[in-house]
Each structure stands twice: as C-alpha cells, then as structure tokens.
Amino acid sequence: MADISKTSEQSLNNILDKLGVRTQEDVKKEGNKNTLGQEDFLKLMTTQLQNQDPFAPMDNGDFIAQMAQFSTVTGITEINTNLTDLGSKLEPNRVATAAQFLGHSVLVPGQVVSPDDKGEIHGVVDLPSYSNDVGLTFTNPSGEIIHTMNLGTNDRGLVGFSWIDIPDEIKRDKIRLTIQAYAGNGQASDGISTAVYNKVIAASAPKNSEDVILETKDYGEISANDAIKLKTND
C-alpha cells in the first residue's frame, strides 16, 4: 500500500466499488472471514505488481480482466448466499403446501385400488388412440375377476370411471383390487394405462429438498410431482 499514492488508492477504490467489491469495513461488519474486501484485493494486486517480470509487465487489459474476475467470483458467492436465504424463507411455504394435501385424494398412476372413505373407487383410463370398446376389469387378491365395466367409445386421452355399488365385504375390509384396462377386443391392450384416486394420509417437506412427499393409502410414499390431480374429499 505504501507504493500507491492516496489519490491512486482512492481511484482504485472507486473502480472496485463499481465492480461490486466490498469495502474492508463492510466485510468486518458481516464477520465473514471467507470474504475478501477492497484492502485485501489491493494487497494482492500490489504483491503481484511487485513480483511481476519487469521485461513483461502486466497489460492494462489483463489487469482490468483480473478485477472483473474478482468481482464475478464475489458476485457468485453472494448469489449462492442469497439463494440459501431464499430457500430458508420458502421452507414454510412448502410445509403449508404439504399440509394442503392431507385428507384429500390424489390421482396416482397405477393399477392397485381400494374403496375410499365413501366406499367408492374413482380413476381414469389413459387412451393412446380412439377406441370403440373401452373397458375395465377388477380382480381380487385371489386373481378372480369380480367386476367388469364398459366405458364405450372414446377418443384418445383420459377417460374417467367410477365404481359406486361395490359389494359390502370389499368396502368393509378395504380389499385392494387390481384393475386392468382394455380397448377394442376385450383383452388387455398395450399403451393403455390407468390412474386411480388415492387418499393422502401424511405429507412432509424434507429439508435440503424442493419436493413434497405424500404418503398415500395404497401406494406408500410418492412425490407430489408424480400426482396427476388433486381431488378434495368434502
């Protein structure tokens, strides 16, 4: 610092201000030992100038580029800090979002289903193309088909279904059934998938994750991102 006049030092400080490099006083106030201030940078620069090759001194453009790189690194560090702070502020929002799922049903891709609290089963069939004969079969744990459902003619896309008049023993015991969709010939068809509404019995927002985890009645833990739709159980 002794080799630099007060005027030159002030000029350099002004440049560093414009580049976003913090003053030494600001760094001390923050108490962050990993952050370099203007005085630290000037010491590094002075040492570099004193030890440079006199026959190949640093070009002015290279000098400015180094200051810009220093500013960029400092800026990235501040961005990471700000993002961490933002994440902590958003944490309560994720918890609130998780709480909104509790007690309701989400549409989950799958073939396993059991009666809901009203003793009903609801879901959708995803058709890849038009079909004039869309249907479902419901199979019990013993492999017996206990119910069939004809959904008629439908275009490609989601086709909703509901089974309301379910036998009392299935409703009482909450028996898990397997559904199979078919189209065209009464046989299971490739490319056809199903999704069913399943009740959310618990929800959480794990730390160090942006995800919300839902615990469902028949599918265990799933990501909220995997749920196709939310249905309120009024």
* 234 residues of the chain, pLDDT tens digit each: 445 455 555 565 565 555 555 554 555 555 555 555 556 666 766 676 666 666 566 555 565 566 556 555 555 555 555 545 545 544 556 667 778 888 899 999 999 999 999 999 999 999 988 888 899 999 999 999 999 999 999 999 999 999 999 999 999 998 999 999 988 755 556 678 999 999 999 988 887 777 889 999 999 999 988 999 888 876
Distance between CA atoms of residues 98 and 153, nearest Å:
38
**Maximal C-alpha separation, the chain:** 96
Distance between CA atoms of residues 201 and 105, nearest Å:
9
User: How far does CA 137 lie from the centroid of its chain?
Assistant: 35
- Enumerate the domain spans of the chain: 6-100, 103-231
Residue type, 144: E
**Residues facing 124 on adjacent strands:** 160, 195
Q: Return the CATH number of the domain spanning residue range 103-231.
A: 2.60.40.4070
